[in-house]
Amino acid sequence: MEVLIESFWIAAQGSAVMGALFGVVFGLFIAVTPGLTGVMAVAIILPFTFALDAITSMAVLLGVYVSAYYGGAVTAIMIATPGTPNAAATVLDGYPLCRQGLARKALQMSLFASVTGGILGVFVAMSIFPLVAQLALRFGPPEMFALLVFSITVIAGVSGASLIKGFLAATMGFLLSTIGQDPIFGSSRFVFGISDLMGGLHILPILIGLFTIPELIVRSVAGGRSGGAGATYIEMGPALRFKEYIGQWRTYLRSAAAGSLLGALPGIGGSPAAFLGYFLAQRFSKRPELFGRGSIEGLAGAEAGNSSVAGAAMVPMMSLGIPGGATTAVIMGALIIHGLTPGPTLFATRPEFVYSTFLVLIMCMLIMLFIGLGMIRVANLIVRIPTQILFPAVLIFATYGAYAIRNSLVDVIAMVLVGVLGTLMRLQAIPAAPLAIAFILGPFFEQNLRRSLLMSGGSIDIFVRSWFGVAFLCLALVSAVATAFAHRRLHGSSRTAVTANG
């Protein structure tokens, strides 16, 4: 308890609060820009923190880090362009809500859900963090694979009317994820002499290609009216009601649980947690048919899911010295440069620093709430722009973003090619979300499958040798069966589904 009080005072220092404020503002600014991700935001701000003391620079970095989990949602909702990969699941319901004239409600819900999920996630991480760290270590390749099999059942939830089409899209996503250097054997696959392809495709150009470009093409069909009276605008619509926010409390808890588990595993990151949170929200929803067409619940599940990773991802770093993701890795590097090497020694010798880190995280989230509300006011400006100007500008915005993500034109070309694919898919009602999920999870899925098989010499019983493996595979089975039943109830048998679409 004393440690907690001491760490509270460390966190409450004026300089730390100022640092967090600056970090959040800068982080939101970067994260709403497609192509600039949390990792880049942290890397950009890093050199400026060298001059500050450890806790202040930590506050700046955490501010940037936290806001990166939310910022991408704004563009995902307003212009169907996820600002960061974390917002990949936000676009599924956020953008439909915006098209229905409920942009304000969607923006507010995403912000409140983000902050709620984020704070819950920090509490989970803080209270049981030695346990979470040990739990994360129990996940070897077979256990990871079993967990991923469970996560893959999410695909069925976002498949829309036809499961076959959903899984076809997922297969495409998996295949796209195999481009680049083979993680296990080390040779290149499908590179064909283009050296930039050795690193594989990046998720952000794929998301823009899947969601933004088809939207542009479809929206351009309606064009042809010039300015003035004929112009159309995005509608902000009514504000979120408190009842709507608080009514989702189960969603926040479920998403925070999902995010805390996934976040503590090295390398998984925010977007899988967002999809899992989205899936859980749908699974337990009374109105699952609204998902993908503008469900406030889906939006809340996705945003609470990705933000709750923020706390959990700090756990392996603080307790084991192993960064949970790219952004935490940069933060860890910064701390090392400040002479504070995160890990068991730091926790043993300076526990107050570790706890104050978590408190600073919570502080950053609260700051983000206020800055975010201000940002929604700024969004009021966007809606004054008639769509005939907004959408062409989005094309430029998205292209800059696709380029900036790795300073590579290959990413821009990939964006357009996936854009063509995405448009064709949309014309034929093949869902885009399964492709995105599969692309994100693909490398983890393949690596852990192959690692497990290497470990067992090729026999598949390795997946049921541990209780974790058995548990997650059972969960996957239950989830698959339940989803199949739910799907049948929702869309009827597959044959009628095809005609119903027509």
Partner 1 sequence: MKTLFRNVAAIGLLAAVALPVEALASDYPTQPVRIVLPFAAGGSTDIAIRTFAQHAETYLGQSIAVENRTGGGGGVGVNYGVNVEPDGYTLMGGAIGAHSILPAVNRGVGYEPSDYTPIGMFQMNPVVLLVLNESDHQSLDDVIAAIGESSGSLSHGDLGPGTIHRLTFLLFLESAGLAADDVIYVPFGGGADSLAALLGGHVDFHATNLTNAAESLRAGAVRALAVTTPERVDHFPDIPTFAELGHPDVDTLAWRGIIGPNDLPSEVVETWDSVIRAVIDDAEWAATVEERGDIVFHMGPDAFAAFIDSEFERYRRLAEELDFIVE
Partner 2 sequence: MRGAESARGERMAATGDRVERSAIEKPTATGDLVVGIATLAIVGLSAAIVFPLGIFVPTRVAWTANSPGFFPHLLLLAAGVLGLLLLVQSLRARNLEAPSPRAPLRIWTRAGVTAAIIAAYIASIMIVGLLVASILALAVALYHFGERRPFLLTSTAVAVPLLLWMFFVHVANVPMPRPLLAHWLAAIG
Considering only residues 120 through 159, tell me which ones interact with partner 1, judged by CB under 8 A.
136-141
Question: 1 to each of 4, 8, 132, 355, 421, how far by Cα in Å?
Answer: 5, 10, 20, 11, 56
Nearer residue to partner 2 within complex by CB, 12 or 393: 393
d(CA 409, CA 428): 29
Instruction: Establish if 351 lies at the interface with partner 1 (CB under 8 A).
Output: no
Q: Is the dihedral of CA 356, 357, 362, 363 positive or negative?
A: positive
Residue of 34, 160, 263, 266 interacting with partner 1 (CB under 8 A): 266
Query: Which CB atom, from 186 or from 228, has the smaller least distance to partner 1?
Result: 186
Q: How far apart are CA 328 and CA 58, in angstroms?
A: 11
Q: Closest CB to partner 1 among 219 and 406?
A: 406
Exactly one of 1, 2, 14, 224 binds partner 2 (CB under 8 A); that residue is 224
Given partner 2, partner 1, none, residue 220, with its beta carbon under 5 to 8 Å by kind, binds partner 2
Q: How far is CA 59 from CA 10, 150, 214, 217, 361, in A?
A: 11, 36, 39, 42, 8
- In the region spanning residues 277 to 316, those forming contacts with partner 2, defined by CB under 8 A, are 287, 289-290, 293-294
* Contact of residue 290 among partner 1, partner 2, none (CB under 5-8 Å per partner type): partner 2
Q: Check if the beta carbon of residue 3 is closer than 8 Å to that of residue 351.
A: yes
**Interacting residue with partner 1 among 222, 246, 337, 409 (CB under 8 A):** 337
Let me know: does 151 contact 276? Beta carbons within 8 Å. yes
3-state secondary structure of 180: strand
Separation CA 221–CA 216 (nearest Å):
9
Question: Which one of partner 1, partner 2, none interacts with residue 330, CB within 5 to 8 A by kind?
Answer: partner 1
Contacts (Cβ under 8 Å, ≥6 apart) of 205: 402, 405, 411, 412, 414, 415, 418
Check residue 490 for interaction with partner 2 (CB under 8 A): no
Among 154, 453, 473, 476, binds partner 2 (CB under 8 A): 453
| Segment 185 to 214, residues that bind partner 1, using CB under 8 A | 185-188, 191, 193, 195-196, 198-200
Q: Are 432 and 425 in contact (CB under 8 A)?
A: yes
Task: Identify the CA nearest to 279 among candidates 254, 260, 296, 247.
Answer: 254
The yes or no reply on residue 237 touching partner 2 (CB under 8 A) is yes
CB of 66 to partner 2, least distance (A): 19
Per the structure block, which two tokens stand in for 376? 């929604």
Helix (H, G, I), strand (E, B) or coil at 391: helix
Q: Are 200 and 180 in contact (CB under 8 A)?
A: yes
Per CB under 8 A, which region of 6-14, 66-74, 81-89, 395-403 contacts partner 2? 395-403
Q: Which of 61, 430, 437, 473 binds partner 2 (CB under 8 A)?
A: 430
Q: Residue 132 or 146: which CB sits closer to partner 2? A: 146
Q: Which positions touch partner 1 (CB under 8 A)?
A: 39, 42-43, 46-47, 50, 136-141, 180-181, 183-188, 191, 193, 195-196, 198-200, 266-267, 316, 320-323, 326, 328-333, 336-337, 341-345, 348, 406-407, 447, 451, 454-455, 457
